[in-house]
Amino acid sequence: MARVISIVNQKGGVGKTTTAINLSVYLAKLGRRVLLIDLDPQANATSGLGIDYNTISIGLYEVLLGPNSLRDVTSPGPTENLYIVPSSQNLAGANIELVGHPEREFRLHNEILNIKPDFDYIIIDSPPSLGLLTINGLVAASEVLIPVQCEYFALEGLGQLLNTIGLIKEHIKADINILGATMTMYDERNKLTRDIFEELYRYFPHKIFRTVIPRNAKLAEAPSFGKSIWHYDAASVGAKAYQRLAREIDFR
Ligand SMILES: Nc1ncnc2c1ncn2[C@@H]1O[C@H](COP(=O)(O)OP(=O)(O)O)[C@@H](O)[C@H]1O
Ligand SMILES: [Mg+2]
């Protein structure tokens, strides 16, 4: 049965999508069967893996609000063992359209139940909000991974995120485990980093990954070529970091 890991932070630009893509690729490289679900209407994980957003006729929207199953919309990814459920253009409307749905928080969870035996990992890339799409991703998850950018204001909003996860555990689904926080875009020359680490530790005692993702130009360039960091530059420090993170997660 798959471990379902939702990558969540309602702040934009903190490295969720970069982590979703590259973690998925490196878990697949470890021989695990991985499904990456792009839950963000901006479809960055979809395009970042070289899938043209405009050619998608059915995607996640048609699963959440239409007649399709996840199997109908799953396509093979760029590497063996990796599969992708792309976002779709009309997914942006889902946040609103789901409101009237009788099982609005459980749509993704219910669909994932049918495919859980097919994979070792299901990785969910979330949009930068705490709206119904993100809630669907959290309710579907067994574990939550929180990327935190090493910048001033990085910890803003984390209280609200933990509060949301707490409410979901209490009222909707008890078994969501916080897998941990991972520091992204780490720059060792930046003095703030140490302070951020210490403050982060207060939020997530014993839950900060040993692996820190450095700020690395190759990681930023790769998606513009529609490639994961493994395909773009496997020798880069960014690639090595995501490889380590995948091993660390697979070990837990
Ligand atoms: N470790 C990194 N080093 C350099 N650039 C990065 C790194 N991680 C992400 N980026 C870049 O920062 C931007 C935001 O990252 P992204 O993963 O899209 O964040 P999110 O999904 O949280 O909005 C993107 O342009 C991405 O290429
Ligand atoms: Mg993103």
Q: Is the pLDDT of residue 221 over 90?
A: yes
Q: Is the pLDDT of residue 152 over 80?
A: no
Structure tokens at 105: 């928080």
The protein residue with its alpha carbon nearest to ligand 1, atom 13, reads 13
Closest ligand 1 atom number to CA of residue 214: 1
The pLDDT of residue 195 is 83
**Mean per-residue pLDDT, 86-111:** 93
Helix (H, G, I), strand (E, B) or coil at 208: strand
Q: Which domain holds residue 25?
A: 3-251
The reply to whether ligand 1 has any atom less than 6 angstroms from the CB of 220 is yes
Task: Indicate the average pLDDT of the chain.
Answer: 94
The reply to whether ligand 1 has any atom less than 6 angstroms from the CB of 17 is yes
Ligand 1 pocket: which of 18, 25, 42, 123 to mutate (most atoms <8 Å of CB)?
18
Q: Is the pLDDT of residue 201 over 90?
A: no
Q: How many A from CA of 103 to the centre of ligand 1?
A: 33
State what percent of residues in the chain have pLDDT above 70.
100
Side-chain-side CA neighbours of residue 102 (13 Å): 0
Q: How many A from CA of 39 to the centre of ligand 2?
A: 9
DSSP string, 63-78: HHTSS--HHHH-EE-S
**Mean per-residue pLDDT, 104-108:** 96
- Domains identified in the chain, total number: 1
The pLDDT of residue 146 is 97
Helix (H, G, I), strand (E, B) or coil at 224: helix
Q: Where are the beta strands (DSSP E) in the chain?
A: 3-7, 34-38, 75-76, 82-85, 121-125, 143-149, 177-184
Least confident of 126-130, 141-145, 206-210, 240-244: 206-210
Residues with CB under 5 A from ligand 2 (ion): 16-17, 44
| Contact predicate 42/70, CB 8 Å | no
The pLDDT of residue 189 is 82
> Within a 10 A sphere around the Cβ of 201, how many other Cβ atoms?
13
**Mean per-residue pLDDT, 81-96:** 93
Structure tokens at 22: 């590259």
For residue range 1-37, list pLDDT tens digits in order: 899 999 999 999 999 999 999 999 999 999 999 999 9
**Cα–Cα nearest to 148, from 213, 210, 195:** 213
Closest ligand 1 atom number to CA of residue 216: 3
The pLDDT of residue 197 is 82
Residue 193 sits in a domain whose CATH number is 3.40.50.300
Q: Is the pLDDT of residue 63 over 80?
A: yes
**Cα–Cα nearest to 197, from 241, 152, 150:** 150
Rounded Cα gap, residues 181 and 183, in angstroms:
7
| Contact predicate 39/134, CB 8 Å | yes
Least confident of 119-123, 175-179, 235-239: 175-179
Ligand nearest to the CA of 133: 2
- At 123, is the pLDDT very low, low, confident or very high (cuts 50, 70, 90)? very high
